[in-house]
Amino acid sequence: MTNDNWAQVSEELKQAVGANNHTTWIAPLRFEGLVDGVARFHVPTTFHGNYVLQNFGDQILTQLARAGITVQRLIFAQSANASAAPRPAAPQPAAPALAAADDEDATPSATLDPRFTFDRFVVGKPNEMAHAAARRIAEGGSLGFNPLFLYGGVGLGKTHLMHAIGHELKANQPHLKVVLTSAEQFMYRFITALRDKRMMDFKQLYRSVDVLMVDDIQFLGGKDSTQEEFFHTFNALIDAGKRIIISADRAPGAMKDVEERITSRMGSGLVVDLFPTDFELRVGILQAKADYYRAQYPGIVVQPGVFEFLAQRISNNVRVLEGALTRLFAFASLVGREISLEMTQDCLADILRASDRKITVEEIQRRVSEHYNIRLSDMIGPKRLRSYARPRQVAMYLSKKLTSRSLPEIGRRFGGRDHTTVMHGVRKIEELKATDSQIADDLELLRRALEE
Ligand SMILES: Nc1ncnc2c1ncn2[C@@H]1O[C@H](COP(=O)(O)OP(=O)(O)OP(=O)(O)O)[C@@H](O)[C@H]1O
């Protein structure tokens, strides 16, 4: 890892830890070196070092792993001369290799994030299907599908589920060679292999795995030769009966600049959508994460109503929710007070302001009518022509998925229609989504535009 790598990782940590925490705790760290999996940082005070290790250690390790930098341990210490060479690290336990031990060196796999296990994944309606499919793969045995394609918006748990599969396989079937990589890392390794004329090694490496997991596959869009190579790897593994799990931020058919033969191959197994979280799931996630924080900050009390308040006000991505909780616990431990609603509002004012934007049924109707080029009055009005009815059903479907309105409430906003009409519309679009790629693309596009 170079200073530049660290600068980039540090920048990415900003989102995870929040701008204030970043300025106070992360920015003063000075990277000194990486030796034998131990990254060493100079810190202004010992307290600073302990605080960072305790509160942000996990996040720093995760972000480093995401950047493809394998670090097993972090040391934060004051050094007499901050630019001195890194000191040799104390002997470490074996690295948590994801693949079988005999090919540790060669395996191009990311380090598993210890936080991303099935135990710590909270299941609710929006993600139950994705969770069940991931569990099936992790259990091993024969599957009725291959590959598994997980997709959904930012921070909904795709990466978490992939790591959880990795943990489970590592524990129960350690002989399997499991590789978890981001599409970006795959491309990087492919280009390096081309440059170093080591393509045979590259091919052999990826084609010898038992389980291949590729995160954020949309990144391959427009990278033609990498796509080609991925396609061959993919086919070779599928033909050999090996398992593949892919994640993306959109459905296979909605992927931009990825060849159709590839997207149709990727969509030929089980395609599962992770829906935006609903209120219950957000409360569940907050409770689960808080249990974890309580172990780190014993004695901190969260007053009733705080989780519900946060789940109501922060409805976009789980990462933001986590960042909010991290900040609250850190603050409460510093000032030695209970986490009250008042403290939550003060301490998270910036996050709450940014999350205030809520998707409304009216906004969905407006966007959908623009998209299909029909008048808003026709979308809401009584006309039954297919050219109005289908966009209306799309808007009903999105209203159900992206807002917390009930079916009768949605019906009222669609010209006083009955809730059974809305239910029928939602079901119809659900069916079409699986069979009609145009509808799937439209939904994806609209969802992204609305969630921006
Ligand atoms: N259901 C859940 N239960 C517990 N934690 C969750 C859940 N969903 C998401 N998270 C947490 O939210 C954070 C973001 O999740 P993750 O990185 O898996 O998102 P993602 O879908 O891969 O998004 P991106 O494509 O932006 O990386 C992680 O810390 C993860 O643990």
Residue 221 CB neighbour total at 10 angstroms:
16
Report the pLDDT value the prediction gives residue 365, as an integer from 0 to 100: 95
Q: Whose CA is nearest to atom 7 of ligand 1?
A: 157
Helix (H, G, I), strand (E, B) or coil at 74: strand
Measured from the Cα of 321, ligand 1's closest atom is: 12
Question: Is 157 labeled as ligand-binding?
Answer: yes
Please check whether residue 212 is in contact with residue 244, taking contact to mean a CB–CB distance below 8 angstroms: yes
Domains of the chain: 3-92 (3.30.300.180), 125-273 (3.40.50.300), 279-355 (1.10.8.60), 361-451 (1.10.1750.10)
Distance 28 CA to ligand 1 centre (A): 27
Report the pLDDT value the prediction gives residue 414, as an integer from 0 to 100: 93
Residue 388 CB neighbour total at 10 angstroms:
19
Ligand 1 near 121 CB (within 6 A): yes
Our separate counts of H helices and E strands in the chain read: 20, 8
Question: What is the crossing angle of helices 279-296 and 318-335, to 10°?
Answer: 40
Using alpha carbons, list the distances in angstroms from residue 164 to 99, 153, 167, 186, 278.
Answer: 14, 19, 5, 20, 22
Question: Is 124 labeled as ligand-binding?
Answer: no
Q: Whose CA is nearest to atom 1 of ligand 1?
A: 122
Ligand 1 near 163 CB (within 6 A): no
Residue 58 CB neighbour total at 10 angstroms:
18
Report the pLDDT value the prediction gives residue 205, as an integer from 0 to 100: 86
Q: Whose CA is nearest to atom 9 of ligand 1?
A: 157
74 phi and psi angles, rounded to 5 deg: -115, 140
Ligand 1 near 276 CB (within 6 A): no
Distance 322 CA to ligand 1 centre (A): 9
> Is the confidence metric ipTM above 0.95 for this complex?
yes
pLDDT, tens digit, for every residue of 388-408?
999 999 999 999 888 878 899
pLDDT, tens digit, for every residue of 114-134?
889 999 999 999 999 999 999
Report the pLDDT value the prediction gives residue 204, as an integer from 0 to 100: 87
- Bridge-based pairing of strands 38-42 and 148-152 is unpaired
Helix (H, G, I), strand (E, B) or coil at 41: strand
Question: Is 158 labeled as ligand-binding?
Answer: yes
DSSP 22: I
Rg (CA), the chain: 24
pTM check: above 0.80: no
Q: Within 13 Å and on the Cβ side, how many CA atoms surround 393?
A: 21
- Bridge-based pairing of strands 178-182 and 211-215 is parallel
Distance 127 CA to ligand 1 centre (A): 11
pLDDT classification of 110: cutoffs 50, 70, 90: low
Query: What is the distance between the alpha carbons of residues 68 and 182, in angstroms, rounded to a whole number?
Result: 9
